[in-house]
Amino acid sequence: MRSKKYTCSLKPYYSRFKKTLVFLVPVWILVGCSVSKFIPEDEKLYTGANLEINRDFSVKGFKEVNTELEGLLKPEPNSKILGMRIGLWSYYKVQKENPGFINRFIYKKIGEEPVYLSSVELEKTQQLILNRLDNGGFFFSEVSAQVEQKPKKAAINYSVDLAQPYQLATYTYDKDSLPIDRSIRKLLASTEIAEGDYFSLEMMKKERIRLDESLKNEGYYNFNPDFLIFEADTNQYDNKKYDLFLRLKQNAPDKGIVPYQVKNIRVYPNYSSDEYGEKTDTTKIKNIAFIQNGLSFKPELLHQYILIEKDSLFNAKDTKLTSSRLTGIGNYRFVNLRYTETDSTLSEGKGELDANIYLTPLDKRSLRAELQGVSKSNNFAGPALLLNYRNRNLFYGGETFNLTAQIGYESQIASGQRESLSAFEVGLKGDLIFPRVVFPISIKERFAYSVPKTKISLGTEYQDRRGYYRLNTISASYGYFWNANRFVYHEITPIALNFVDMSKTSSEFEEILDNNPFLRQSFEHQFIAGLTYSFAFNKLMDKYREHSIYFGANIDLAGGGLRLANKLLSSEDQNTFLGFNYAQYNKGDVDFRYYWRFTEEKLLAFRFFGGLGLPYGNSVSLPFSKQFFSGGPNSIRAFRIRSLGPGSFKPDDETTGNYFDQAGDIRLEGNLEFRFPIVSYLKGATFVDVGNVWLVNENEALPGGKFGRDWYRELAVGAGIGLRVDIEFFVVRFDLAAPLRSPYLPEGERWAKEFKVQDSEWRKNNLIFNFAIGYPF
């Protein structure tokens, strides 16, 4: 039987579209009109409101004013989907005696009760609009409403005749006798209220909050923003100007308008309501009393986290930062900082406070066993058994010691026609984290937001890559990490050592290395010593932010220190250190992401990734573990893992050896993804991915792999759709993608011209299924 060849042509699709359209239009009309017959005789369906603002002058921020007023037009009419009120239709259907399963299901998901004209409070809405205009300075505006009625439906047209707003002439504080008066006058210099601003209650509310926060940082512990009163005077002007005056309430309590000093500071490092008794010991360090049963935390270390000082004025900011710093140690379940007013009367215009800090420790030791399902970015997945021992206060200074043993098996998924790689791994790693800077020279850091932590790591791992090689790895590192603020993270590792010994190579793997001398050298240079630095600025966690970004950067400098040491020691062989070949390279990458949120769950996500590695000295390529690759669930999803590049290189045949060949020193990638909710925890996505990897140096074994001026002609393009099961703390992702542009094809043939979806052979070679844990970016 002759097989049919399916090609993509617009004509049949256009013909089908016309037929579908001819069928759907009557259905839409029938369904849309079918709602009318359910509307009771004495009701009219409310279809919404229109707002018209009439003015003959310019208004600053008119768009915001219009949006705010439109938000007052309540209630919202019944929603439409493709012009049909399906939610309302399902409501009427479910009112039947036997509505049926389908009608009940639709109503449960999208059903809406009818919104009738009788539920609209016309006068109340008009009054709300007038009140909002008055609050914004548009006094003496006028609002009218007209009901537009049809046989079964009705709409409302609101019309606003906007009056010119009152604008600020001067803003002053009219008292100067008390210390708090002088503080307020000083704070007015940094106000955001400016001449020409419209009269605004919201502006005044924000100003009171600003002043309250600032005064609480100057000692006014009992101050309340309600103590401040604004008064406006228009009598001095005939052109809609006003003077704004700020003053204190006359009946503000004395305790609310005087500053407070901190007299005593007490810290309870192992606080528990039933543990403190006669055996407690008290140690004083720099006027701070540490009260504990035995030694729970060394006072000389704990006092470094406390920013509150004896005899200093109360400061709300330092109070908050002290709690944050103590929480950041990681040893405490609860951190509770309480102030109590002393019994002494107000003297010399000041009050007194005692600061009590109650710290409830976590369990010092823990032992945990986990059976994990591991999914890696390189498309390897498999089970792993993890055993972890943790000591949260090893040397009584908040030090955390972690010892982790892991045994696992992983296999490559979605490998296409290649034989899947697999590996057996056993590892042991120890981490010691100090909640402070540990350095040979004493560093008295006073990082306000959080204290840098020092991390020392030592580990070993054995990996058997079945049928290819065995690796024995020893790694060690010494570095620091900290949060500069809520959004910024730094991590610097001045000492990062990694030594890998490859053994038991198979004849098949030796053949792969013989065919690619660069690859052989990338495996030989497995003694890596250098410095790494990571930076991250992240605002993506704010789900209610309309526009948010993430920017990350990594720097990896290896071999420079050993090269300098060889020169200082006048080593005979500059390319080895202690008899070992070592890698020399400089590598860096940037990761930029941008989220445009239309709603909390509907957003457009963009990512750009750029990475460059420059081997030098005795290295002509990056070590294999440091190379970039493209393709896979977190990269160009229309191509399988490591099936792209470098450049326009295409292997003679698809074998497992290509997994090692298809990597590079340069990576450029861009991704665009639209994410939207479907039902409950099920989310959807459509996406487009662009990118590739290249080599810095020419490699005869990989022709077309070097980065050149025509690099943009070697970009791969893919597109697809995805489903995500998102249960907040855990995301399972399924993506289906197809290549639109394949850089390894001859020029002129790289763009896909046919999409033979009906052809099973085409689907097998072009539809790529990706399974992963978490979002791609």
Q: Classify each residue of 375-384 as buried b or exposed e, where b means 16 or more C-beta atoms within 10 Å of its C-beta.
A: bbebbbbbeb
Report residue 432 as tokens. Answer: 């010691």
Give one word for 584, left, alpha or beta, with left for phi > 0 and alpha for psi -120 to 50.
beta
pLDDT at site 645: 83
User: What is the mean predicted confidence (pLDDT) over 513-517?
Assistant: 80
The answer, yes or no, to whether residue 435 has pLDDT greater than 50, is yes
| pTM assigned to the model | 0.77
Of the pLDDT bands very low, low, confident and very high (cuts 50, 70, 90), residue 4 is very low
pLDDT at 583: 87
pLDDT band at 190 (very low <50, low <70, confident <90, very high): very high
Q: What is the pLDDT of residues 614-649, one digit of tens each?
A: 998 878 888 888 899 998 889 999 998 888 989 998
Indicate the length of the chain as a whole number: 777
User: Cα 640 from chain centroid?
Assistant: 27
Residue 370 pLDDT grade (very low, low, confident, very high; cuts 50, 70, 90): confident
Contact between 610 and 590 under an 8 Å Cβ cutoff? The reply is yes
Q: Distance of CA 336 to CAs 111, 269, 298, 557, Å?
A: 47, 11, 19, 43
User: In degrees rounded to 5, what are phi and psi of residue 288?
Assistant: -110, 125
Share of the chain above pLDDT 70, in %: 90
Q: Quick one: what percent of the chain has pLDDT higher than 90?
A: 54
CB 608 within 8 A of CB 661: no
Q: Over the chain, what is the mean pLDDT? A: 86
By C-alpha distance, which of 485, 494, 392 is closest to 437?
494
Q: Across-strand partners of 558?
A: 530, 585
- pLDDT tens across 380-398, in order? 667 889 999 999 999 999 9
Cβ atoms of residues 547 and 596 within 8 Å = yes
User: 523-548 as b/e, with b when 16 or more CB fall inside 10 Å?
Assistant: bbbbbbbbbbbbbbebebeeeeeeeb
Residue (of 103, 157, 163, 104) closest to 133 by Cα position: 163
Tokens of 143: 């609002």
Cβ neighbours for 764, distance < 8 A, ≥ 6 positions apart:
none
The DSSP bridge pattern shows strands 682-694 and 585-597 to be unpaired
Phi, psi angle pair for 703, to nearest 5°: -60, 140
First to last CA, the chain: 48
Token pair of 302 as six digits? 């704990």
Comparing 109 with 120, the larger pLDDT belongs to 120
What average pLDDT does range 318-323 have in this prediction? 94
Between residues 564 and 346, the one the model is more confident about: 564
φ/ψ (deg, to 5) at 63? -60, -45
By DSSP bridging, strand 260-268 and strand 288-292 are parallel
Q: Is the Cβ–Cβ distance between 436 and 454 less than 8 Å?
A: yes
Taking the C-alpha atoms of residue 23 and residue 3, their distance in angstroms, rounded to an integer, is 32
Q: Which residue has the higher pLDDT, 389 or 679?
A: 389
**Helix, strand or coil for residue 598?**
coil
| Strand segments (E) across 651-715 | 666-679, 682-694
Q: Distance between CA 762 and CA 753 in Å, rounded? A: 13
The reported pLDDT for the residue numbered 259 is 94
Q: What is the 8-class DSSP label of residue 443? A: -
pLDDT > 90? residue 291? yes
Q: How far apart are CA 66 and CA 59, in angstroms?
A: 11
Looking at residue 590, its pLDDT comes to: 98
Closest CA to 289 of 311, 264, 325: 264
Mean pLDDT of 4-22: 39
Q: What are the chain's domains?
A: 49-66+118-165 (3.10.20), 167-253 (3.10.20.310), 260-361 (3.10.20.310), 364-505 (no CATH), 535-555+583-777 (2.40.160.50)
Residue 691, strand partner residues: 669, 716
Which of 252-261, 341-350, 363-372, 390-399 is the least confident region?
341-350
Distance (Å) of CA 232 to CA 193, 228, 244: 14, 14, 5
In the predicted structure, residue 728 carries a pLDDT above the cut 80: no
Residue-level pLDDT at 21: 40
The pair of three-digit structure tokens given for residue 13, joined into one six-digit string: 């699709």
What pLDDT band is residue 423 in, cutting at 50, 70 and 90?
A: confident
User: Are 689 and 636 contacting, i.e. CB atoms less than 8 angstroms apart?
Assistant: yes
Of 333, 358, 328, 360, residue with least CA distance to 268: 358
Q: List Cα–Cα distances, 261 to 307, 324, 582, in angstroms.
A: 14, 22, 60
Counting runs of H as helices and runs of E as strands, what totals does the chain give? 14, 29
pLDDT: which is higher, 24 or 503: 503
Q: Which residue has the higher pLDDT, 754 or 432?
A: 432
Buried (b) or exposed (e) across 662-671, using 16+ Cβ within 10 A?
bbbbbbbbbb
Q: Is 659 left (phi over 0), alpha (psi -120 to 50) or beta?
A: alpha
Q: Which residue has the tokens 């008119």?
A: 62
**Closest by Cα among 542, 669, 667 to 595:** 542
Sole residue written with tokens 């497992």: 656
pLDDT at position 617 is: 83
Distance from C-alpha of 22 to C-alpha of 28, rounded to nearest angstrom: 11
pLDDT of residue 375: 58
233 in the Ramachandran plot: left (φ > 0), alpha (ψ -120 to 50) or beta?
beta
User: In this predicted structure, which of 419-423, 436-440, 710-714 has the lowest mean pLDDT?
Assistant: 419-423
List the structure tokens of 535: 């930076």
Strands 716-726 and 260-268 turn out to be: unpaired
Task: Decide if pLDDT at 493 tops 80.
Answer: yes
Checking if the pLDDT of 408 tops 60, the result is yes
pLDDT at 652 over 80: no
Going by C-beta distance under 8 Å and a sequence separation of 6 or more, which residues neighbour residue 330?
392, 398, 400, 433, 435
List C-alpha distances in Å: 10 to 23, 751, 756, 757. Answer: 20, 17, 13, 14
| DSSP strands (E only) in 221-299 | 228-233, 241-248, 260-268, 281-285, 288-292
d(CA 482, CA 537): 12
Q: What is the pLDDT of residue 301?
A: 92
E strands, 466-513, are 469-483, 488-503
> What confidence tens digit (pLDDT) does each residue in 556-581 have?
999 888 888 887 777 777 777 777 78
